[in-house]
Amino acid sequence: MRTWVSNTVMHSYPGMVALVTTEWAGKQNIMAAGWHSYISYEPPIFGVAIAKERFSHQSIEQSGEFAINFVAEGYADYIQYAGTISGHKSDKLEQLNASYTKGKEIGAPILENAYIAYECKVIDQRTYGDHDWFVGEIVGFYKDEAVFQDNGLPNWEKLSIPLYLGRSQYMIANKEAKVIDLYQDNK
Ligand X SMILES: Cc1cc2nc3c(=O)[nH]c(=O)nc-3n(C[C@H](O)[C@H](O)[C@H](O)COP(=O)(O)O)c2cc1C
Which positions touch ligand X (CB under 6 A)?
17, 29, 31-35, 49-51, 54-56, 79, 83-88, 131, 164
CA-CA distances (angstroms) from residue 115 to 118, 138, 169?
11, 16, 21
Least distance from C-beta 152 to ligand X, angstroms? 25
User: With respect to ligand X, which residue has the nearer C-beta, 35 or 148?
Assistant: 35
- Rounded to the nearest angstrom, the gap between the alpha carbon of residue 135 and the centroid of all alpha carbons in its chain is 13
Residue nearest to ligand X (CB): 83
CA-CA distances (angstroms) from residue 104 to 64, 95, 143, 153?
15, 24, 14, 26
Task: Give me the phi and psi of 18, to 5 degrees please.
Answer: -90, 140
Least distance from C-beta 33 to ligand X, angstroms? 4
User: With respect to ligand X, which residue has the nearer C-beta, 58 or 138?
Assistant: 58
Q: Which among 144, 71, 139, 129 has a CA at the least distance from the CA of 108?
A: 139
Task: Give me the phi and psi of 127, to 5 degrees please.
Answer: -90, 125
Helices (H) and strands (E) in the chain, counts: 3, 12
User: With respect to ligand X, which residue has the nearer C-beta, 54 or 110?
Assistant: 54
Least distance from C-beta 161 to ligand X, angstroms? 13
Least distance from C-beta 58 to ligand X, angstroms? 8
Q: How far apart are CA 40 and CA 70, in angstroms?
A: 18
Least distance from C-beta 129 to ligand X, angstroms? 12
User: With respect to ligand X, which residue has the nearer C-beta, 91 or 157?
Assistant: 91
User: With respect to ligand X, which residue has the nearer C-beta, 63 or 148?
Assistant: 63
